[in-house]
Amino acid sequence: MHVRAWMDHAGWIVAAGLLGAVIAGVAAISRPYVYRAHTLIQIRQNEVDTDAAKRTAPFDAGMLRSRSVVGPVVERMRLDVSVEPVRAPLIGGVAAHLAEPGRLSGPWPERLGYAWGGEQLEVRAFDVPDAMLNVPMVLEVLPTNTYRMWLDGKPLLEGSVGERVQAGGVTFQVARIDAHPGTRFTVTRHDTAQTIDTIARDLRIDSDGSDSSTIRIAWETPSRTAVAPLVNGIAESYIGEQAGLRRQEGAAAMAYLTGELPRVRDELERAEAALTRYRAKEGSIQPSQDAQSYLNGSMDYQRQIALLKLERTKQLQRFTEESNEVKTVDNQIQQLTRERRDMDAKLQNLSVNERKSVALTRDVKVAEDTYLGLRNRLEQLSLANLDRALPIRVVDAALMPAAPLGMGTGPLTAGGALLGVCLAMGMVSFRQRVKPVVANVGDAEASLGLPMLGDICYSREQVELERMLASRTQQWNAEALRLGHLASPPPGRDLVDALLYDEDEDLDALPGMALHDHFLLARNAPHSMAVEGLRNVRAALHFTMLAAAGSPRPARANVMAVTSPTAGAGKTFVSVNLAVLFAEAGKRVLLIDADLRRGRVASWFDQYPEPGLAEVLAGHAELSEAVRPTIVSGLSVLSAGVPPVNPSELLMHPSFAECLDTCAGRFDLVMIDTTPVLAVADAMLVANLAGSTLLVLRAESTLPSQAEETLRRLARADARLLGGILNGVTAKRSNRAAFGTMNPYLGMPLAGPAEPRRIGHAAAEEEGSH
């Protein structure tokens, strides 16, 4: 069902896809492009200072976002100044993207001051008071490289290219203008600190976090020319800052070591002199195993304490004694001192000379190790200062991007088209689910279980005929109102005489009869597809009637009621034209208009509505007077008459059944046009008395729920339902094959030579002219 609905609405779906493609294409072209550039820098540790390398903290990406790194780049590139051309809504962005860089387009029209692509304005200096930060100003280009700046609709300053202008606390200088006179730019001086923070926040920094790290720095911006210089500038700024910091730290370390080295050398000389004096006095003492163990452990503690004291002296150059860094070192020294004191307490069993010898030897070794370590460190720093190679280097510099980020115009346009198609298909499916209608014969049989006798295609000729019929009815009513009454026709001939009149007699002599068939589709367009569909229904009804003839014939087997669920389904159209077709096939047909409320059958044959069925049932007229022949040979009509006040009661009167019995005995086929089933109860009354009932459904209009309720009501009325007809079927893609097989056989000429028929009054006028 959904596939067939999609096929039928393929035009709308394609149109939605084209609309989506146009919208997406325009949006893709008019959207601001975003460019991205990135650089790779490698951060490695200094191979000379291995101990320091082990103590170095991992790389902190926040350093690259610091103001000390980003700020100089922003100020150098003047990124705190934004310049945007004023463009026309929607089409301005499209024109700018289609324009070639460096080639001015437009202006169209000049008085609007819009930029159409290729315009450039380079600002060299722009300083404003704090109150005017982030306030947009309008710069209008004037002839001969001059300009005027506006603020809140008032002139602020005027100047020329290269001239430094000051007015109202604003200092402004333009380096270059590439724009037509009249073009306007929006110039804004942003807060530098906010600009730095915004750019730092937008930076994308990726790091692997290892000792030898590769850092990727990326940035995205609508400016294609600014993205690569900014990324490279940040990398260079960071490298320069790290190099300066390295030089400062190296100089500070050398100054500290240079100052500490003489003191440690003096301590070593004092320790060696004390040990020499002790040995000269007491002689050389060979330490025992316990003394040797104490000596090794005490040396480790003393060495660590000496290194911590050096670290404390170094920290005091940057922090106070109350700082956490210095207190941490003090706590470590106190802890090691306590542990060494505990070790000293365990060696009280040694002799005094042995303890003295071990202590002096320890002091010498510790002072010697400290002195050698400081001298080695000083030599390493000297070599590091001689090495100009930096631990940070640029692996890949940022390049100017050739294309913007994201999908191009083509994929976005295709995506918009696909989205439009999907939305249209979804809307069609949603409509089918929310408001399902009977679209074709297969749907009707599948959903309703109703045997369908055929379908009738939509006829433009019938629309024109109905328009002419409505116009004729209005003229007749207007004339009747002008006369002050509705003239009644003279009484017709006897029913038997009407049935047996000679086809060759002059029809003009018959009073009150229709002398034309202007409003009958079966007569005006006999080879149309709608009439061919009615012929198929006639054939199906013929076979059904033949089958019924072979079985025990029920009462009024040749009486057929034609009804529909609601008004507008085309039941009167079907009744009238089927009656004409049966009459043309040699049947004696009577068409009864049982719609006593809004009957219109008489107007189709251009006859008076009275006397009719209402007058017959009310006893005001005889049946022979009410039944009138038509211009169609073998076809008579019984109009509805004047609308009564009690139509349902008249149809329930036994006289209606007697009337049907009389007509069924004198005609081969009696067709009854009734009211819609869901509108009033009249159709159920007629269907109960008729031998069979034909249900007319309107394609794309009748709801399945309406058809189901109609079938239930007809079942309660004990109606014998022959089947259904689907009227108003339009040619669509889903049924194009069925219509295509019929088209080659339509429009065939009649057997004998005949003048081509004209629809409506044109034919009548021609006849009148003869």
CATH code assigned at 644:
3.40.50.300
Question: Is residue 43 located within the same domain as residue 123?
Answer: yes
pLDDT digit string (tens) for 70-92?
889 998 888 999 998 888 776 76
Confidence bin at 94 (pLDDT 50/70/90): low
The CA–CA distances, whole Å, from 512 to 493, 625, 631 equal 10, 11, 12
Tokens of 69: 């790194």
pLDDT digit string (tens) for 533-592?
889 899 988 887 766 655 554 567 889 999 999 998 889 999 999 999 999 999 999 999
Query: When comparing pLDDT for 54 and 343, which is higher?
Result: 343
Q: Which of 57-66, 82-91, 306-315, 631-640 has the lowest mean pLDDT?
A: 57-66
Question: Is residue 428 located within the same domain as residue 453?
Answer: no
Q: Check residue 628 and report its DSSP letter.
A: E
Mean pLDDT over 391-399 rounds to 82
Give yes or no for residue 413 having a pLDDT over 80.
yes
pLDDT of residue 676: 93
Q: Which of 106-110, 242-246, 389-393 has the lowest mean pLDDT?
A: 106-110
Give yes or no for residue 129 having a pLDDT over 50.
yes
pLDDT digit string (tens) for 270-324?
877 887 877 777 766 555 555 556 656 666 767 777 777 777 777 776 778 788 8
Which alpha helices (H) appear in 347-459, and where do they start and end? 352-386, 409-434, 441-448
Nearest 5°: CA angle at 494, between 512 and 594?
70
Question: Is residue 413 located within the same domain as residue 376?
Answer: no
pLDDT of residue 750: 40
Q: Which of 181-190, 425-434, 622-631 has the lowest mean pLDDT?
A: 425-434
Which run of H or of E encompasses 4? helix 2-8
pLDDT digit string (tens) for 678-736?
999 899 999 999 988 999 999 888 888 888 999 999 999 999 888 899 988 887 655 55
pLDDT of residue 767: 39
In a domain, 193, yes or no: yes
pLDDT of residue 551: 54
Is pTM beyond 0.75? Reply is no
Q: CA gyration radius for the chain?
A: 54
Confidence bin at 134 (pLDDT 50/70/90): very high
Q: Check residue 141 and report its DSSP letter.
A: E
Query: When comparing pLDDT for 746 and 142, which is higher?
Result: 142
Domain boundary among 184, 209, 241: 241
pLDDT of residue 379: 78
Tell me how far apart the alpha carbons of residues 362 and 295 are, in angstroms, rounded to a whole number: 6
The CA–CA distances, whole Å, from 577 to 216, 269, 290, 583 equal 84, 135, 133, 10
Question: Is residue 174 located within the same domain as residue 84?
Answer: yes
Q: What is the mean pLDDT of the chain?
A: 77
Judged on CB neighbours under 10 Å (0-12, 13-18, 19+), 15 is: middle
In a domain, 702, yes or no: yes
pLDDT of residue 684: 92
In a domain, 504, yes or no: no
Site of tokens 């150098």: 76
Tell me how far apart the alpha carbons of residues 5 and 428 are, in angstroms, rounded to a whole number: 7
Give yes or no for residue 748 having a pLDDT over 70.
no
- Give the rounded percent of residues in the chain with a pLDDT score beyond 70: 74
Question: Is residue 529 located within the same domain as residue 622?
Answer: yes
In a domain, 605, yes or no: yes
Give yes or no for residue 56 having a pLDDT over 70.
no
CA dihedral 473, 474, 475, 480 (to 10 degrees): 90
- HSE-CB at 637 with a 13 A cutoff on CA atoms is 31
Contact between residue 565 and residue 702 where contact means Cβ atoms under 8 Å apart: yes
Question: Is residue 48 located within the same domain as residue 195?
Answer: yes
As beta bridge partners, residue 155 has 150
pLDDT digit string (tens) for 160-211?
999 999 998 899 999 998 888 888 899 999 999 999 999 989 888 887 555 5
Phi-psi domain of 310 (left: phi exceeds 0; alpha: psi -120 through 50; beta: other): alpha
Confidence bin at 755 (pLDDT 50/70/90): very low
Cβ neighbours for 704, distance < 8 A, ≥ 6 positions apart = 436, 437, 438, 447, 448
Give yes or no for residue 393 having a pLDDT over 90.
no
Query: When comparing pLDDT for 718 and 769, which is higher?
Result: 718
Give yes or no for residue 4 having a pLDDT over 70.
no
Tokens of 245: 């910091």
Contact between residue 97 and residue 85 where contact means Cβ atoms under 8 Å apart: no
Q: Are strands 35-43 and 692-698 parallel, antiparallel or unpaired?
A: unpaired
Question: Is residue 411 located within the same domain as residue 454?
Answer: no
pLDDT of residue 492: 37
Tell me how far apart the alpha carbons of residues 659 and 637 are, in angstroms, rounded to a whole number: 14
Give yes or no for residue 631 having a pLDDT over 70.
yes
Quote the number of domains for the chain. 4
In a domain, 144, yes or no: yes
The CA–CA distances, whole Å, from 276 to 270, 284, 352 equal 10, 10, 17
In a domain, 769, yes or no: no
Question: Is residue 643 located within the same domain as residue 542?
Answer: yes
Mean pLDDT over 655-673 rounds to 91
Phi-psi domain of 162 (left: phi exceeds 0; alpha: psi -120 through 50; beta: other): left
In a domain, 398, yes or no: no
In a domain, 735, yes or no: yes
Domain boundary among 241, 269, 290: 241
Please state the length of the chain. 770
- From the list 177, 216, 221, 171, the residue with the least C-alpha distance to 195 is 221
Q: Where are the beta strands (DSSP E) in 676-753?
A: 692-698, 721-729
Question: Is residue 456 located within the same domain as residue 426?
Answer: no
pLDDT of residue 667: 92
Question: Is residue 257 located within the same domain as residue 226?
Answer: no
Residue span of the structural domain in which 86 resides: 34-241
Give yes or no for residue 51 having a pLDDT over 50.
no
- Buried-state track 274-303, b at ≥16 Cβ within 10 A, e below 16: ebeebeeeeeebeeeeebeebbebbbebbb
pLDDT of residue 289: 57
Question: Is residue 567 located within the same domain as residue 679?
Answer: yes
Give yes or no for residue 148 having a pLDDT over 90.
yes
Domain boundary among 196, 212, 241: 241
Query: Rounded to 5 degrees, what are φ and ψ at 750?
Result: -70, 170
Question: Is residue 310 located within the same domain as residue 183?
Answer: no
Query: Rounded to 5 degrees, what are φ and ψ at 101?
Result: -60, 135
Give yes or no for residue 48 having a pLDDT over 50.
no
Q: Which long-range contacts (CB under 8 A, 24 or more apart) does 411-417 make?
A: 412/24, 412/25, 412/27, 412/28, 413/21, 413/24, 413/25, 413/28, 414/21, 415/24, 416/20, 416/21, 416/22, 416/23, 416/24, 416/25, 416/27, 417/17, 417/18, 417/20, 417/21, 417/24
Tell me how far apart the alpha carbons of residues 613 and 619 are, in angstroms, rounded to a whole number: 10
pLDDT of residue 120: 83
- From the list 43, 152, 20, the residue with the least C-alpha distance to 417 is 20
